[in-house]
Amino acid sequence: MNFSVQPRSRHYPALVLCIALLPLFCGCIGSGPAIHEYTLYSIPEQVADGQSTVLKRSIMLMPVGLPSINTNPALLLRPSLPALRPSATHLWAGSLQEQVARVLAEDIRQRKIVQTVLTFPGPRFAKPDMLLEVNLTRFDGDLKKGFTCTGTWTLSDNQQKHVLTHQTFSATVPVTTGDYTGYVSAASSAIALLSEKIGAYMRTLDLTKS
């Protein structure tokens, strides 16, 4: 009986090598620029020790209005008007609308202007004494020229059902570090300035001291 032995394929070692390198090759193709995510933050207000809350009432911040372009998670660069360039790799971590509302509410809370600060929808059956509506018309900037925030805010008496004030707001804060970290810091500072303006008006109210 004759037995024949088939010669080993010369291509076998090369095939094994290709299979071994395939995951590495696919990883190189799939990888791209690193994605960086940012979160707005509250800037602590220096309040004197022992300072009491001015208004013994509650306020609810309604959903903050933002330009439609800001629904894009990208940080927006505006080197000149009307040019606007979204960043492909520097993004907001989560909803920008929710971040602005959270930080603004915290800024107001730290100023000890009003006893209770709520964000919409608040706890069930909440009946706040005042409502704060904020509509931003611009929330973007440039790494060299600064971050700009513009808009309007309205404060209403929710018990008497009338508007207390309706005002405009505009602030440009320098991006001191010239990078995206400084961009976010400037954006957070702009919100702090908005809370300062709102607080300055609320301190003039005398209807809620009881």
User: pLDDT at residue 28 above 80?
Assistant: no
Residue 7 lies in a domain: no
Give the CATH number for residue 74: 3.40.50.10610
Residue 36 lies in a domain: no
What's the domain count of the chain? 1
Write out the DSSP string of 120-157: TT-STT---SEEEEEEEEEEEEETTTEEEEEEEEEEEE
Better-predicted residue by pLDDT, 146 or 15: 146
Residue 88 lies in a domain: yes
Which band of pLDDT confidence, cut at 50, 70 and 90, is reported for residue 1? low
Residue 177 lies in a domain: yes
Residue 31 lies in a domain: no
User: pLDDT at residue 209 above 50?
Assistant: no
Q: Cα dihedral sign for 19, 20, 21, 23? A: positive
Residue 44 lies in a domain: no
Lowest mean pLDDT among 103-107, 134-138, 173-177, 202-206: 202-206
Average pLDDT, the chain: 86
Residue 181 lies in a domain: yes
The encoded tokens of residue 49 equal 């020790």
Question: Looking at residue 17, what is its pLDDT?
Answer: 47
Residue 170 lies in a domain: yes
Q: Are 135 and 151 in contact, with CB atoms under 8 Å apart?
A: yes
* Structural domain for 198, as ranges: 54-202
Nearest to 80 by CA among 139, 142, 149, 137: 142
The encoded tokens of residue 192 equal 């702090």
